[in-house]
């Protein structure tokens, strides 16, 4: 046997990877599958229809119920509660339990509750005590009851410095850490009659738009975007209020704050874009280089990363 089981643990499964450690008072049923180099702490219970990847840490007092799939390098904190039936009744069982997936490198804090049928995205972080009622996108940080997105893990936050080095009042273009993404400050003309800001397409905005749309009346807790375009260029301006934008090129992520009507953000094709933390009065204006085409969208983050790394476009 190339894995360790404590003398006070009950491990009925033979599908345990090399280097995995099962500690006292844990109970693993025969159908469960565990990968290599996992750490299963005291008083963990794992049912039959459960798959656990490699290098997973499951802290004390956790139960993994039928229908759960845990991918590699996941951390599950003490007393995390998973569920697999939205409407449980004593002695009444559904034909199949809802499937829940915890993607690679996700972390779930102590005492969090995960409702059934959800996906916790790769590298996401669930805060301690959170009640997760909806799937969590990749890299998102969620807290509270119900859990809401408050940030993105491993994301450079340039919002405090999202201005040109010479100051926000000076028009110009500032690079970001994300490939091809640029932050633009336009000329603003204040006047006692009102202020004016102006930008010219192809000169200051690097394309001629064929479409525009506006996003407004977004509840503060909601997140927009969460997709990339294969060919379409976009340019974002918060004409009122403030919006935080996360740009991701498949390698790096950076967060920018749009909070002035003379500031815009250029997102080239093959940039994963997320907008969140809208202020109550926010109005986001978006110019797009192309007409709407559903085939131009990439809505799954894993697909986007694969295409970005291969250099493939439609």
CA distances from 147 to 78, 124, 261 (A): 18, 13, 31
Q: What are phi and psi of 295, to 5 degrees?
A: -70, -15
Mean pLDDT value of segment 96-121: 97
Give the pLDDT confidence of 29-44 residue by residue, as tens digits: 999 999 999 999 999 9
Give the pLDDT confidence of 298-314 residue by residue, as tens digits: 999 999 999 999 876 54
Q: How does 152-185 read in b/e, with b if 16+ C-beta sit within 10 Å?
A: bbebebbbeebbbeeeeeebeebebebbbbbbbb
Mean pLDDT value of segment 65-84: 97
Q: Which active-site residues does the annotation give?
A: 227
Mean pLDDT value of segment 113-120: 97
Predicted pLDDT of residue 162: 45
Distance between the two ends of the chain, CA-based, in angstroms? 50
Query: Domain-by-domain residue ranges, the chain?
Result: 1-154, 157-310
Out of 100-104, 109-113, 160-164, 254-258, which region has the weakest mean confidence (pLDDT)? 160-164
Give the pLDDT confidence of 164-220 residue by residue, as tens digits: 443 445 788 999 999 999 999 998 888 888 889 999 999 999 999 999 999 999 988
Q: Which CATH architecture has domain 1-154?
A: 3 Solenoid (2.160)
Predicted pLDDT of residue 312: 60
Predicted pLDDT of residue 314: 47
CB 24 within 8 Å of CB 41: no
Predicted pLDDT of residue 75: 98
Q: In this prediction, what percent of the chain has a pLDDT beyond 70? A: 96
Give the bridge partners for 224, in sequence order.
Answer: 275
Residue 3 pLDDT > 90: yes
Predicted pLDDT of residue 313: 52
Mean pLDDT value of segment 231-240: 97
CATH superfamily of domain region 157-310: Jelly Rolls (2.60.120.10)
Give the pLDDT confidence of 274-286 residue by residue, as tens digits: 999 999 999 999 9
CA distances from 246 to 35, 273, 304 (A): 34, 6, 15
**Burial grade of 251 (CB within 10 A; 0-12, 13-18, 19 or more):** exposed
């Amino acid at each position: 046997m190339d894995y360790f089981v404590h003398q006070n643990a009950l491990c009925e499964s033979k599908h345990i990877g090399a280097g995995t450690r099962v500690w006292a008072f844990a109970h693993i049923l025969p159908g469960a599958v565990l990968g290599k180099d996992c750490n299963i702490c005291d008083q963990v219970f794992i049912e039959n229809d459960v798959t656990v990847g490699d290098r997973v840490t499951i802290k004390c007092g956790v139960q993994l119920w039928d229908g759960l799939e845990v991918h590699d390098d996941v951390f599950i904190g003490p007393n995390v509660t998973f569920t697999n039936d939205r409407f449980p009744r004593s002695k009444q069982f559904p034909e199949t339990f809802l499937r829940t997936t915890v993607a690679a490198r996700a972390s779930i804090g102590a005492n969090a509750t995960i409702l059934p049928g959800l996906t916790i995205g790769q590298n996401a972080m669930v805060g301690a005590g959170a009640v997760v009622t909806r799937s969590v996108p990749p890299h998102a940080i969620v807290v509270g009851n119900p859990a809401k997105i408050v940030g993105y893990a491993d994301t450079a936050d340039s919002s405090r410095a999202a201005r040109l080095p010479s100051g926000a009042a000076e028009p110009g273009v500032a690079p970001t850490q994300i490939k091809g993404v640029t932050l633009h400050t336009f000329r603003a003309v204040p006047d006692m009659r009102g202020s004016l800001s102006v930008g010219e397409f192809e000169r200051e905005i690097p394309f001629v738009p064929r479409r525009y749309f506006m996003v407004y009346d977004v509840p503060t807790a909601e997140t927009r975007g969460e997709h990339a375009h294969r060919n379409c260029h976009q340019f974002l301006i918060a004409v009122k209020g403030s919006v935080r934008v996360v740009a991701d090129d498949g390698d790096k992520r950076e967060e920018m704050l749009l909070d002035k009507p003379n500031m815009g953000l250029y997102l080239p094709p093959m940039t994963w874009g997320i907008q969140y933390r809208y202020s109550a009065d926010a109005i986001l204006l978006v110019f797009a280089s192309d007409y709407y085409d559903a085939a131009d969208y990439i809505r799954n983050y894993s697909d986007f990363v694969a295409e970005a790394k291969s250099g493939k476009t439609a």
